């Protein structure tokens, strides 16, 4: 199946999840990430600002703040360029992609980030992912040396052939349901 068809299928499935299911998944994701030694040893955690049909990263952001971690979130530019900027909930703007992102341009060097919580739509057995198609994360992760983790729903497991520029996520933790 083509990546675009997989994207459409997964987005449609995500949009069928109830608010309660997204909340359970989000709470589970927060606990799963916070239990990792990489998280516990980290000073700076990067995560994304979720769209309504995705797991809600505000749970992780709040917990990381309580744990004294520095939180950074992505900001995108033209030509697939992305940086991570310190999170400030009072200084966000809606991007052209319909995602909240920082107004600030105060980017951190990738070496200052310990763990990146990577979003996506589908993951294969090798940890490669299909995102929304902009290539932002693959470009960024190609030069990132730290820990990467994703917490997809179990139905986001998908076998597909990765392309040469695709970057694998080091740890993929699936949210399993009994449905």
54 belongs to an annotated ligand binding site:
yes
| H-helix or E-strand spanning residue 13 | helix 3-14
For residues 98 and 155, the answer to whether their CB atoms sit within 8 Å is no
From the CB of residue 173, how many other CB atoms can be counted at a distance below 10 Å? 16
CA distance 84 to 140: 10
174 belongs to an annotated ligand binding site:
no
77 belongs to an annotated ligand binding site:
no
135 belongs to an annotated ligand binding site:
yes
> Which SS3 state, helix, strand or coil, does residue 117 take?
strand
CA distance 127 to 104: 31
CA distance 178 to 167: 30
142 belongs to an annotated ligand binding site:
no
130 belongs to an annotated ligand binding site:
yes
107 belongs to an annotated ligand binding site:
no
6 belongs to an annotated ligand binding site:
yes
Binding-site residues for ATP = 3-7, 129-137
Binding-site annotation: residue ranges: 3-7, 49, 54, 129-137
Where is the binding site for substrate, in residues? 49, 54
């Amino acid at each position: 199946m083509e990546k675009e068809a997989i994207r459409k299928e997964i987005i449609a499935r995500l949009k069928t999840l109830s608010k309660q299911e997204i909340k359970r998944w989000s709470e589970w994701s927060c606990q799963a990430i916070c239990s990792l030694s990489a998280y516990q040893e980290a000073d700076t955690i990067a995560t994304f600002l979720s769209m309504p049909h995705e797991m809600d990263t505000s749970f992780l952001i709040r917990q990381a703040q309580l744990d004294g971690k520095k939180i950074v979130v992505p900001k995108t530019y033209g030509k697939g360029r992305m940086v991570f900027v310190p999170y400030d909930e009072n200084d966000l703007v809606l991007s052209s992609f319909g995602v909240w992102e920082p107004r600030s341009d105060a980017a951190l060097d990738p070496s200052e980030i310990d763990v990146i919580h990577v979003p996506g739509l589908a993951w294969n057995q090798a940890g490669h992912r299909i995102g929304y198609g902009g290539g932002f994360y693959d470009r960024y992760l190609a030069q990132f040396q730290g820990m990467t983790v994703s917490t997809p729903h179990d139905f986001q497991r998908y076998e597909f052939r990765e392309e040469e520029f695709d970057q694998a996520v080091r740890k993929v933790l699936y949210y399993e349901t009994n449905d």
